[in-house]
Structure formats: C-alpha cells, structure tokens
Structure 1
Amino acid sequence: MGNQLDIALKEWSVAISALEAGETIMLLRKGGIREVGGRFTVAHDRVLLYPTYEHQRTELLKPPYRCKVELVASGWHPAVIPISSWAQITDVIEVTEQSALDALLPLHIWNDLFAAERFRWKPRSPLYVLLLRVFRLVKPVMIPYQDSYGGCRSWIELDPSIDLTESKPVLADQNYAAQVEEIYRRVGQEAHHVGSQSHQENNA
C-alpha cells in the first residue's frame, strides 16, 4: 500500500472539521446527482477528505456546529482547496429503518431534520453510514481548484497526488474500535469491516 493518494471524498467542510477533531467518525450518504444511477457506492476505502462549502445548511446542523459554517453564494468555490486529512473507510452500514437512524443521532453533527431528509430522499434506496478512521497530514496541502472537482458527486481524483507519510491518527486504536462497536450496537447489526483499521503500512 503506497504513501501517495489522489482519490478524494467530497464532504461539507464543517463535517470534515468534526472528523479531524475526533468529534464523530460518521458520515451519512445516499448519492449524488452525477453518480452512476444517482446511487452512492464505496469505490475506494482510502480517501483524502475534500471540503465543500456551497451546499452547507446551518439549519441541518446541531447548534454547536452552526456557527462554524461560512455561507457562500451558489457556485462559489475557493481558488485553492486545503487538504489536511485522509481516511480509511473501515465500515459501511446500510440503514433501512428510521429507528436505527434515530439511534445514531447523538453520534454525528447533524440534527434530526438532516437525518430525516437523507432518509426520505429516494426511499427505496438505503441510507449508508460510513465509518472513517481519520488521519491528519503533517501539514495541509493546498490544491488549486479544477473544474473537474465540481458537481454533485462524491468521488474525485486530485492532481497532484498527496503524500501520506507521517500522518497521524486522530483517535487511538481502542477509542476508534469502541466507537465502531457502539454504532453497530445502536443499529442492531454485526460488524462488517470493508478496510483495515491499521495504519502501519502507510507509515512504512
């Protein structure tokens, strides 16, 4: 497994900040307009975290996170994008019951309105709960914006790739494992990991 990575997962800037602070390990996804069939699929289990700003909505966040959102005009993006972390997507959990989604409410940054909107959109498709083991880069890397990074899709390829050497996990192994176990307990499922939680290979 190499120390260079160029695949990024797009997510609200406020959510990435919470992941980097160890305040949550969870993202909720269904899909983007420009994704195949409009459905979300986990094409990669190691991703850089790419912050987005345009579609952040304060009314969908819990109160402590609303003040951290800088509202921007439609279509706006920074000239350069700060990439300060990457993640191993260790688990992907399909949630099809509202009760399971409600049980996860204390463990992420969004309020019940956000969760309900995500759950009701395309009701025949499951909601995906992504669990991310996040690592901070030694220092942020500034990536010039390109048009290919835009649009309503989850996965993009960055140019150039970013060096992961000496990046550090946000949470200790035991802390992360305990949170994963608690999430599975709340949704009433058994653990099914999609990627290794170990960081040893990436620091070789």
Structure 2
Amino acid sequence: MVVAEIFGWIGGTIGAAVAWPQAWRLWVGRKFQGLSPSAGVLAVFYGVGWTAYGLWTQSPAQIVTNAIALTASVAVLAGHVRLGQLAARQWLPLLVATLGGLALIGLLAGGTAVGSVVGASTIFAIGAQVVSLIRQRARGDFDVRGVSRPRWWLSAFCNAMWMVFGILALDWVVLVTSSTNTVLSLAVLALTLPPRGRASTPVEQVEAAA
C-alpha cells in the first residue's frame, strides 16, 4: 500500500497542479471570459466526490491531493461568479443538485458508489471531447487550435499514475476510471495531430503548445 500511495501522490499532485493556473488567471489576471459555469460546478463536484472517496478508502494521497484540487475548483467557481457577476440561477441549482445527489448516494450506497459515480462522470466528460473531435475530423475540419495538447499529456500521465495506484492498492474504482481516462486522453492527443500529408503551420504549433 505504501508503494501504491507513492504513485497516488505523483498522479494527484499533477492533477491538483493543473487546476491552479486557472484560479490564478481569475483572481490575479481578472480574466474569466470563455469559462463555463457548468464546467466550474462539475469541477467542484469531482473534487468533493474524489475527496469523499479518499476518506472512505483512507488513502492519504487521494484525500490531500483531491482536497487541494477542490480548493482550486472552488476558487475558480467563486471567482467566475464574482467577476462575471453570474446570477444564482446560472450555477447554484446545478451545484445543489450534483452535491445533493452525491450526498444521497453516499448515504444510501456508501463511498464505493460515490467513487463509481464520480469516476463515470469524468469518463463521460473526456469521452465527450473525444466524440467531438471525431465528428469534427469526419467533417474535414482539422482546426484544433483550441485544444491544449500539454494539458492532455498531463492528463494522460496523471491517470497513468492513478492506474498504477489502482493496481497496487486493488482499488477497482480508481483502476477502471484512470485506465479508461488514460486511453481517452491519448485518443484526444491522437485526434489533435495533423492528418497525414498536412503539416501544422507555425501558428498552429504555437497555439497547440499553449
């Protein structure tokens, strides 16, 4: 279990670190344009769910790193609400529904069910990005400048670390979620490569690296 926790700390630290630049951009740079209130609420939902699951499994790596990521997600949502002057109806009903549903699942079915629901939600979210890219390429549209490839490399590595954790800790919820998300993250990277015979322009290369 000690070795498993090491991989959990690596994966969790990377996952938590990815969330903080957005919080900095909001509170220091005062930039919120383009953010989705729904995405902000779901980030909080994921953070609460994974932290709760870590408490259920008594995994220090899951508890601490997900709590740090949750703090960043709350900061992003709060910053967006404040700077964007969002009406409560734009974010509060979804927040109450998701967290209330999560609490109900925890009370009725336990922590494993909570982790399973949150894991399935993350798979769905990344899977939606894969489907969107597949449809875009099918239309002959290869402009993927809005997709940050470094972010997805970090996602793939982070999930790979959690996959190892799941194997060593015999945690099937983490294993299934992280292995699926590793594959999906690699799929995003593959789908954002320029098609054969078409090299990306210098502008596209710079924007993809952002």
TM-score strictly above 0.5 = no
Pair member with larger Rg: 2
Normalised TM-score (structure 1): 0.28
TM-score, with normalisation over the residues of structure 2? Answer: 0.27
Higher strand share: 1
Query: Which structure: greater helix fraction?
Result: 2
